[in-house]
Structure 1
Amino acid sequence: MPVADSPLFTPVTIGKLTLSGRLIKTATAETRATHDGFVTPELLQFYIPIAKGGTPLIITGNIYVGLDGKSAPRQVGADDDDKIPGLRQLADAVHAHGSKIFAQLNHCGRQVVPQFAGVSEAVSASAVKELVTGTLPRELSLREIQAIIANFGAAAARCKQAGFDGVQIHAANGYLMSQFLTPHTNRRTDRYGGSFDHRINMLRDVFREIRSRVGADFPVIIKMNGSDKLPLRHGLNTDELVRVAMVLQKDGADAIEVSVGHYESGMPMVHGTFARCLRNMVGGAMRYLPWVRRWGFRLFWPLFALLFDVLWPRREGFNLRYAQAFARELSIPVICVGGFLTRAAMEAALARGSCDLVSAGRAFIADPLLYRHIQHDEPGPRCVDCNACIGHLGVQPVDCYHPAVRAQKDAMLARLT
């Protein structure tokens, strides 16, 4: 399909921001900040090539809004005004090449190994143990909830001051906002738990606080699950999550990005093959798990890898069935993430009306010039969905760790500079 006829390269509006195309870079944890959360040249080096490739919108890896919500080492923070100069460097570096950039704001809640992340304890909506990590969080008090809400608002204001084009609230994948939405992780009986209307209050209050701090014209979008994928537990299904999105749209959200699953779900949020991923985890973040889980993973990761290969095989657009349910009910743009690699799959998703934009993470890690290459039908490094990059998160800087693909990428970037 010629570029002129492709829906992938037509403009789209998020709030009052117009993007030049409909393929964007989704959030991917970076492990490239300083240990106390400041932007580094190493972080800029990751994003500049993606901007040089003409990517219409880049969404950063999750940025913590307070130290209690930090999820991993070397994570970027927006928890204090001293972070603003570095965040401005990042925004300016992306803008210099014509791309837009949103900051993804997050609090990890119970999905953390405190020793690994360097935090004193885990907190959540309720004291429900995280089965993968073995972390038992402490239930947040009402006063602490109000402090977290204020932290989200202050972090968003700092990102706006630093020159970002918008922010994304991370309410997917089992992080704190998701923990408040999901009955399995929210057993509260106050205004933040119990009924549907109470469980959405945390996310709504965070959104309203951010909106009050950044104004009506600054894009605020939400990343949320299309399904919690929590069998034998009380997770949310697609209809319930669409209902959440409809409330957020009424509150003034500018777009919804659709993902899937919690940590406890396994690996439905990436798909592909998992031997490299789990082997890297065993030598990385899993070293900090409680000893029973640590040795269990060390002994049985090859079996887990075989099982995961069967459960979550490589497939493009694996969240489209969820995104389509959101697109039917919402008038704001719906973004679908989920294994996209090829122009054909992206164009088909848009042409069917399953979503308004597609987002990719691992594909941009393998090929930072992905947008340019797809737009001009040029060859480039192609992600093979080995998930080795996922296995290194929090331990090694985000990058492609498949030897053959990495060699192609390095050669390409050498020519670029």
Structure 2
Amino acid sequence: MLPTTPAAGMPLTLGRNGRTPTTLRNRLASAPMERNYGTTDGHITEPYIDYLVTRARAGLGMVTTEATYVRADGKGRTHQLGLHTDHMIPGLRRLTDALHAEGALAAVELNHGGRTAQSSVSGFKNLAPSPVPCPTAGGEVPRELTAAECYELVAAYAAAAKRAVAAGFDVINLHGAHGYLIHQFMSPISNHRTDEFAAPEFFMNLVIDAVREAVPDTIVGMRVSVLEGPADGISAEQQVAIIGRAHLDKLDFLDLSAGSYDAGEWIVQSGEWKPGILSDYTQAYRRFGLPLGMAGRLNSPEIIEEVLSNGTCDFVSLARAIHADPAFVGGVLRGERYRPCIACNVCIDNLGLGQVTCTVNPAVGRSRVPVPTPAVRSTSRVLVVGAGPAGLTAARELAEAGAQVTLVDDGARPGGQFALAERMRSTPDFHRFADWSASENERLGVEVRLGTHADTSDAGGLARDFGADAVVIATGGRWPAAGFVGGESPRVTDIRDWLAGHQEMLDGGSRGLEAVTIWGADSVAMSVADTLASQGTAVLIIGPQESLAPESGRRAKILAVPRLEDNPRVRIFLSSTIEEFDGDRVRISRSGMDEQWIDAPGELLVSRSVLPLDGPLTAEQREAELSRSASIPVAMAGTVVDTAAAIVSNAVKSGYDAAQRIAAALDARADTADSAGAEVAGNVPVRRSLPVISQRTGDPAAPGASKPVAIPPLGTPLRRLGLAQLSLVGTAPPDLVTIAAEAGFDFIGARVRPVTATERPYNLQPGSPMLRETLARMADTGITVEDIEFLLLDGTGLQNGADQREAWLRMMEAGQALGASTLTVACSDPDLDRFGDHLAQMTQDGKAYGIIPTLEPIAYQTVRSIPQAVELADRADCKIVVDALHVNRFGGTWAQLEDAADLVPMIQLCDGPAIPPPSREGLILESRSERGVPGEGEFDLPAMLASFPADIPVSVETPSGSRVAALGELAWAKQLKAAATSVLITPAFTWSTT
């Protein structure tokens, strides 16, 4: 039980030597955890602001941004935050204002990557105290800094500190840990200098002095690694001595962490290490008289209360615990329930891949809008088969949404195969997720039936037996027998089945187990081998994988793999396949080598990573097939039926997504029933429906005829005005609807899914929760969707791994649900005849959906002119969409525009300088991210608009990541609206009414 007034809830005042005191409302701060949520040029994004503000709202005393680079050559992550220019200030000011509104202090950590920054990420040659590469960061050999350049970098820290204050930050934390630049000057591994910068504290003190001079009245602290980690690095005693020579009178606190890139296990600790792991090192820093922060395995209210109440530290720096759930703050302060972190380290391992997600919280890092699972009627009954992580997640989400959920499993306890992982040496915290899920089941009234077998091949029969309206199958699928000679031997066992039958081994009682052979080298095999080997068992590992546990990130296996590789009783054969097993030996084959027999002691345990899946169907195909046969919604969950790696994180995400699909399907069925009832009552809901548009007229009722144009009075906007998705490319469609409405637009052009790799993930496919959320906001605001953006036809027959026709049919289905009338198409196919055939097929397909393709006369590769587009559109009987940038860059006469006018259902409006970029790459960059605001460029927009009838709507398509970051999404949208309106009301038009 927590005390009534926990130590964590006590205020803490920082500030000394005459500086204005600043008070934290409690002792809980967020650590400067990197998340890759920024833009590629260092600006903060709306998703990032949402993420941090959510944690401030949960009650943190201080919210800290991630390691934020002070100069562009110090950038270490693709989407890391920067404070390297004044352009960063407005966006960060929006963040700090929002944090202050929630009662939290705003802190920023200033950093330079030094040798850990790689030119492939930053675009600059990396720099360091000495030319010592960092293998774990990429291995690029840095250029040694001159003394003058060292002083220039000191000035960069000071300049960034000034910007931080201008942006509204209350606290500045200097990153002197984890093997970054300040730490590199301290370490004998990376500093081999002989000048004044050879002294470990010299560069650090220059930075402290310069920052203090730049921001004399601001709270400034420094993050310190209490030890570096490697044997030839800074020891704990040496680090205390270095900090003893720091200019501590100019600092207001020390924030204690540990490790470096050469010892990453100390930066983000494994679950097998004890909570509060750094407590043993803090006492040595008490001599300096500064308030101490501390990180390191602070994953429960109990350990936080312990380290604060006994004076180990003065505040705690929380990262993974509040990443998993902001409600952890309430758990510490008030004993509230929260979703626990399990120390799997998927978060840190994802950092080099993209947005940082979370195993136990599937909504983190996956989109701007963590769309809640749609509410369902309380009479809806759902059966979930399988109580592993996928099934537990699906059951909880559906119960939270209001459904009556029954969860069945043929095991003896919830957790399924996941329950075995919690008994492994490297993953002892995994039980926390199963325990939390069990308590959530009880809280939400989920009926759990263990020891109950369910035949998942007959979903309809299951639904009838359990009285269910929908079924989630989360069993992970079925597996065939081992596919090699001798595979039917009784000594060949599925590794998970073997574990389930050897509870004494899991409890540490297997010291009599002499030897075991494992076929497969995935994460399960690694964990089992590591656990058995630690108890003295001889282990032989044979796997087709090129490395141990390739599906796991480096931090998830940072302790286990070296232990296995260094253990003389462990033999490892990678890139190897078992061809035969005779009970005592295995015959293995490896590419480029002769087959060989190897002694295989003990049982042969088979990991599923070496076995084929049962059947060629994809998860979507299996779901569709089961749903049709069962006549009810059926969703598949579990990584086995997906292409994603078979790790817990993907299982939880698949369970979450399956729950969303089921809830949406149940909600849709309820809507259908409601609509049927309304029709009987004479109150049929009206859905916006658009007819197919014939190519040579804007009037579907009069093919071949022209339509008179009604001219509005001068001084009013002449056209309906829309906001294109590209103008706010990082914004998910539901938010785009809301922003468009608040900015005064009439409609939007929406993307069904991201087009480029840098966009945030979202999905507007029919049945998806995000589609339903978008439709709900459209109904609330009156905003419509006119166009679906866009489909790139490249002639290869592939579209993100799927057939192109399948891709456009799915887009049209989504467009129909949204009420769109057009689908924008671009061409990168060098064969225009083939492209024309595709376009004609699209036009025919679109008639079934009320969607017509609109060809952009631009791809910077193939179609580059209005006449080209007209010719293709005439051939395919489709439309074209005209963008000011197209005409400006590739030319076109007013006569050509007027001739194409009756083919144009929409105009895309932007602007730009008269001189185009010199290269194709520059043109592409301009098109995607640097278009000009209407009216700010040199192109005659009113003259172009005069070529088209006044009833053709205009969509503003002007992206600028830097300006969005500086202004915020809504302010940017309002600026675009004002600029476009100014162009539209220019009374310089002579309208044709023929």
TM-score, normalised on structure 1? 0.83
Alpha-carbon distance in 1 for matches of 2:353, 2:202 = 34
The equivalent position to 1:358 in structure 2, one of 295, 298, 316, is 316
Following superposition, the deviation at residue 46 of structure 1 comes to 1.2
Q: Deviations over 1:217-271 (max 9, x none)?
A: 210000011001112x2x2122222223333353321111111111111422212
3-state SS of the aligned residue for 1:77? Answer: coil
Pair 1:336-2:334 in alignment? no
- Which residue number in structure 1 is paired with residue 22 of structure 2? 17
User: C-alpha displacement at 1:411, in angstroms?
Assistant: 8.3
Question: Is 1:122–2:80 an aligned residue pair?
Answer: no
Query: Which AA in structure 1 matches 2:280?
Result: R
1:283-309, CA deviations, whole angstroms, 9 ceiling, x for partnerless residues? xxxxxxxxxxxxxxxxxxxxxxxxxxx
Partner of 2:257: 259
Tell me, yes or no, if structure 1 residue 323 matches structure 2 residue 282. yes
Equivalent in the alignment of 1:206: 207
| Contact map agreement 1:316 1:340 (CA 8 A) in 2 | yes
Against the structure 1 CA distance between its residues 3 and 413, is the aligned structure 2 distance closer, same or farther, given a 3 Å change threshold?
A: farther
Q: Which letter does structure 2 place at the counterpart of 1:12?
A: L
With CA pairs under 8 Å and 6+ residues apart, which has the higher RCO, 1 or 2?
1
Instruction: Indicate which of 66, 74, 81 corresponds to 2:86.
Output: 81
CA RMSD for the aligned pairs?
2.1
The equivalent of 1:220 in structure 2 is 220
Q: 2:362 aligns with which of 403, 406, 415?
A: 406
Cα 1:104–1:316 change in 2 (3 A) is same
Work out the CA distance in 2 between the residues paired with 1:96 and 1:76.
Answer: 22
1:107-164 CA-to-partner distances (Å, cap 9, x unmatched) read: 011113321x233222111111223232211110112111111110000000101110
Alpha-carbon contact 1:3-1:375 (below 8 Å) kept: no
Q: Matched residues in 2 for 1:45 and 1:62: separation?
A: 18
Contact 1:58 / 1:99 at 8 angstroms: preserved in 2?
yes
What amino acid is the match of 1:360? L
Q: Secondary structure at the match of 1:325?
A: helix
Q: Does 1:149 align with 2:135?
A: no
Match of 2:32 among 27, 35, 45: 27
* Alignment-derived partner of residue 287 in structure 1: none
Aligned counterparts of 1:330 and 1:413: Cα–Cα separation in 2: 51
Gaps of 5+ in 2: 16-20, 375-399, 401-994
Between the aligned partners of 2:363 and 2:165, the Cα distance in structure 1 is 37
Matched-pair contact (CA < 8 Å) for 1:365–1:398: no
Contiguous gaps of at least 5 residues in structure 1: 274-312
Say if 2:8 and 2:332, in contact at 8 Å, map to a contact too: no
Tell me how far apart the structure 1 counterparts of residues 131 and 5 of structure 2 sit (CA, whole Å): 52
2:379 is aligned with 1:378: no
Contact 1:170 1:222 in 2 (8 A): yes
Distance 1:342 1:128, change over 3 A: same
- Residue 341 of structure 1: SS of its match in structure 2? coil
> Percent same amino acid at aligned positions?
30
Q: Residue 347 of structure 1: CA displacement?
A: 1.2
Contact 2:179 2:259 in 1 (8 A): yes
Q: State the partner residue of 1:295.
A: none
Q: Which residue in 1 is equivalent to 2:859?
A: none
Which amino acid in structure 2 is aligned with residue 246 of structure 1? G
Question: Which one has a bigger Cα radius of gyration?
Answer: 2
Report SS of the residue matched to 2:152: helix
Number of aligned residue pairs: give it. 365
Q: 1:405 to 1:85 in 2, by over 3 A?
A: closer
Report the AA paired with residue 61 of structure 2: P
In the aligned structure 2, how far is the partner of 1:397 from the partner of 1:48? 18
> Aligned runs of 1:90-169 on 2, under 5 Å?
90-115=95-120, 117-132=121-136, 133-169=138-174
State how far apart, in whole Å, the 1-side matches of 2:150 and 2:364 are: 47
Q: What aligned pairs does 1:187-206 form with structure 2 within 5 A after superposition?
A: 187-193=192-198, 198-206=199-207
Contact 1:259–1:336 (CA<8 Å) still a contact in 2?
Answer: yes
Could you list the per-position Cα deviations for residues 295-336 of structure 1 after superposition, in whole angstroms to 9, with x for gaps in the alignment? xxxxxxxxxxxxxxxxxx243111111222212x12111111
Shift of 1:7: 1.5
Q: Structure 1 CA distance, aligned partners of 2:80 and 2:364?
A: 27
Q: Give the residue type in structure 1 aligned to 2:268.
A: V
Question: 2:14–2:22: 8 Å Cα contact kept in structure 1?
Answer: yes
Tell me the amino acid that sits aligned with residue 163 of structure 1.
G
How far does residue 30 in structure 1 lie from its aligned partner after superposition? 2.1
Post-superposition Cα deviations, 1:49-88, rounded to whole Å, max 9, x if no partner, equal: 1010010011110111001111111111111111110110
Paired letter, 2:255? E
Cα distance change of structure 1 residues 149 and 159 upon mapping to structure 2, 3 Å threshold: same
In the TM superposition, what is the alpha-carbon distance from 1:340 to its structure 2 partner? 0.6
Match of 2:325 in 1: 367
Instruction: Name the amino acid aligned to 1:262.
Output: S
CA deviation vs aligned residue, 1:328-380 (integer Å, no higher than 9, x gap): x1211111100111111011112232211111101111012321232111111
The 1-side partners of 2:263 and 2:373 are apart by 36
In structure 2, distance between residues paired with 1:42 and 1:355 = 32
Amino acid at match of 1:146: Y
TM-score (norm 2): 0.36
Relative distance call for 1:146 and 1:38 in structure 2 (3 A) is same
Residues 320 and 249 of structure 1: CA distance in aligned 2, closer, same or farther (over 3 Å): farther
Give the distance between the partners of 1:245 and 1:23, measured in 2 at CA.
Answer: 24
CA distance in structure 1 between the partners assigned to 2:350 and 2:156 by the alignment: 28
SS in 2 for 1:227: coil
Contact 1:149 1:206 in 2 (8 A): yes
Amino acid at match of 1:343: P
